[in-house]
Homo-oligomer: A and B are copies of this chain.
Amino acid sequence: MNSLPRTFPARIPVNTIGRLSLYRRLLLEQLGVGARQIYSHQLAGLAVSTAAQVRRDLMTIGFSGSPRKGYAIQELVDAISAVLARSVETSVALVGVGNLGRAILAYYGNRQPIRFAAAFDRAPEKAGRILHGCRCYPAEAMADVMARENIHVGVIAVPAAEAQAVADQLILAGVKGLLNFAPVRLRVPAGLYVENVDLMMALDKVAYYAHELHS
């Protein structure tokens, strides 16, 4: 029955933020299929999780449903969007327009309200090209473009050896969060958020368990 733009007393745990992102996607899908209300155990089924987990997560963002009808899907989507940065536009910069960088641009498309506003690459011949709706600039232009486009999130898709230097540049240019695809742990000032997508680690984990189960 509630919950629009509130000030949240507590800091929301990272894992919860992640699940909210997932719930939101699943809920939008349900809306598309004509559903209007959903029970915690149904959403849990879609998310391959538990009803208790779902209820706890929604409690954390202060959203309530009714015992009779469950949760109103559209309202819940709005509430989650208000918590995630989804109701304001977030401008993002990509650094590193190699195989992975281009795949990232293609993957994210340019769905509002997360917009890839600029890409940077050391190789000067990439400057000026437009890939999946995102313009490439030479690395030197970073500070200027980032300020002009009001970018606060950086995505790092450069080789390991360059990642720390790129992170330093991005931080200097004012980013508050980094999504790092390079297989390195970045050293950043306290408080700045870094999400690592470590593909080597991910594959090692799978190989470990596959091997364990197989033998």
The answer to whether residues A178 and B206 also contact, given A25-B183, A99-B106 and a CB cut-off of 8 A, is yes
Residue A213 CB within 8 A of the other chain: yes
Interface range for A = 35 or more
Main secondary structure of the interface of A (DSSP, over half): helix
Residue A179 CB within 8 A of the other chain: yes
Per assembly, the copies of the chain total 2
Residue A31 CB within 8 A of the other chain: no
Other-chain contact of A204, B84, B102, B178, B183 (Cβ < 8 Å) = B84
List residues of A whose CB falls within 8 A of some B CB.
Answer: 14, 17-18, 20-22, 25, 46-49, 83-86, 88, 90, 92, 98-100, 102-104, 106-108, 114, 152-153, 155, 175-179, 183, 185-187, 191-193, 195, 197-211, 213-214
